[in-house]
Chains A and B, each alone.
Chain A
Amino acid sequence: GAGVSQSPSNKVTEKGKDVELRCDPISGHTALYWYRQSLGQGLEFLIYFQGNSAPDKSGLPSDRFSAERTGGSVSTLTIQRTQQEDSAVYLCASSQTPVVTEAFFGQGTRLTVV
């Protein structure tokens, strides 16, 4: 596609349930990033994938969060046993080079945990 695509756009889930958020990066982009924006906060780095290298998971807030990237393309961010503080907009970005300052962002998934 022309841009980074994320699905779903909105997700409402009950506390304790697991959720999966999907990101389709721009074709040919080797680097992929996940960020989240909680209410009243700036965007917060979560995880970074670059080609076949081991991902940089340093931003994941707890072990309930995990992400994978299959075939160097589509990425899924999984949150297990969701909590209300997980409510946020989750943004995915991709870049052609491993230079984060050249990344393009998707529209985000708004997650609401009730």
Chain B
Amino acid sequence: DQQVKQNSPSLSVQEGRISILNCDYTNSMFDYFLWYKKYPAEGPTFLISISSIKDKNEDGRFTVFLNKSAKHLSLHIVPSQPGDSAVYFCAASRRTGANNLFFGTGTRLTVIP
């Protein structure tokens, strides 16, 4: 049972425009959410996170929005750059007492120069 879902396997965006990656979850016990970025032949690297007590967290060009009532989060990248081309994974967890993260299946972002 997939508790974290990324329904868009791929996304193409023009350089300079906004990229919006979406993620949905089903488990209301999740209280911490993360986005990872993965290049080919590399492990996922942490990008940005958000606690359930917030609805927005911003770090440079990256902003994550959380809508708890809809069990939905999104990652916005503005402006998108060719180096942002990678697979983006959404993950969720309980911040304390949890040993594991639940991951989505990933969205492959391609930023076209």
The count of chain A contact residues (Cβ–Cβ below 8 Å) is 26
- Nearest chain B residue, comparing its CB with the CB of A4: B43
Contact of A59 among B34, B93, B98, B100 (CB under 8 A): B100
Assess the B100–A91 pair: CB atoms within 8 A. no
Decide if B95 is an interface residue (CB 8 Å cutoff). Answer: yes
Choose the segment among B13-21, B67-75, B102-110 that binds chain A (4+ C-beta atoms closer than 8 Å): B102-110
* Residues of B in contact with A, size category: 20 to 34
- Whether A45 pairs with B101 at a CB distance below 8 angstroms is yes
Does B100 lie within 8 Å of A100, measured CB to CB? Answer: yes
Chain B residues within an 8 Å CB radius of A71: none
Give the residue of B6, B43, B100 whose beta carbon is less than 8 angstroms from that of A45: B100
Q: Is the interface of B mostly helix, strand, loop or mixed?
A: loop
Q: Given the complex of chains A and B, what is the CA–CA distance between A93 and B101 in angstroms?
A: 11
Tell me whether A41 and B99 are in contact (CB under 8 A): no
One of B43, B93, B105 near A108 (C-beta < 8 A) = B43
Q: How far is the CA of A96 from the CA of B43 in the complex (A)?
A: 18
By a CB distance below 8 angstroms, the chain A residues around B99 are 33, 45, 48, 50, 56, 98, 100
B62 within 8 A of A: no
User: Do A101 and B45 have beta carbons less than 8 Å apart?
Assistant: no
Binding site for A on B (CB under 8 A): 2, 4, 6, 32, 34, 36, 41-46, 49, 89, 91, 93, 95-96, 98-106
The 5 closest A-B CB pairs, nearest first, are A105-B43, A45-B100, A42-B103, A43-B103, A48-B99
A4-B43, A42-B4, A48-B100 given; 5 more Cβ-contact pairs under 8 Å = A33-B100, A42-B102, A45-B102, A56-B100, A59-B100
